[in-house]
């Protein structure tokens, strides 16, 4: 049951990461306005936002204007879902697993933004830094502190 939960969570997180990947480099809010078709501007309904399945059901086109939707959207969703599923096979349900999911989500967003812009947004890289520090403090340092500093 845990791997299935991780897969579904990963698909949902991947859907949100698509918003982050698209909007963050443009300086747009990742919360408002709600998701819209980039071509016609129509607000997407709940059925249009189901990760991967809505893309397949609509045959990769906007429900309203029929403009093709980039295959990157289901790719990011499926990749994130797959990574969460894979991680769930190594980490049982725990705080550690949630931290791994957070790392994976940040890394997926950073990878795709880097592919598009050749830049890594400070907000996400600082997020990784603080998540790493928080994880180390919460779960304990896997290396002696001086050795960890050498790696930094």
17-26 exposure pattern, b = at least 16 Cβ within 10 A, e = fewer: bbbbbbebee
Condensed to tens digits (0 to 9), the pLDDT of residues 17-72 reads: 999 999 999 999 999 999 988 889 899 988 888 999 999 999 999 999 999 999 99
pLDDT of residue 5: 98
How many domains in the chain? 1
The boundaries of the domain holding residue 140 are 2-151
CB half-sphere exposure, 112, CA atoms < 13 A: 21
In 3D space, the residue among 136, 145, 105, 91 whose CA is nearest the CA of residue 21 turns out to be 105
Condensed to tens digits (0 to 9), the pLDDT of residues 84-104 reads: 999 999 999 999 999 999 999
pLDDT level of residue 151 (50, 70, 90 thresholds): low
pTM value is: 0.90
């Amino acid at each position: 049951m845990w791997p299935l939960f991780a897969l579904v969570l990963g698909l949902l997180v991947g859907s949100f990461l698509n918003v982050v990947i698209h909007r963050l480099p443009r300086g747009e809010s990742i919360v408002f306005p709600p998701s819209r078709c980039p071509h016609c501007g129509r607000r997407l309904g709940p059925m249009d936002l189901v990760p991967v399945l809505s893309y397949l059901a609509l045959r990769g086109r906007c429900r309203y204007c029929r403009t093709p939707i980039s295959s990157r959207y289901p790719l990011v969703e499926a990749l994130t879902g797959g990574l969460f599923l894979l991680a769930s096979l190594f980490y049982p349900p725990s705080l550690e697993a949630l931290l791994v999911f957070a790392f994976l989500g940040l890394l997926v967003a950073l990878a795709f933004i880097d592919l598009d812009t050749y830049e890594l947004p400070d907000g996400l890289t600082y997020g990784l830094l603080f998540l790493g520090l928080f994880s180390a403090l919460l779960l304990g340092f896997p290396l002696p502190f001086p050795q960890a500093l050498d790696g930094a």
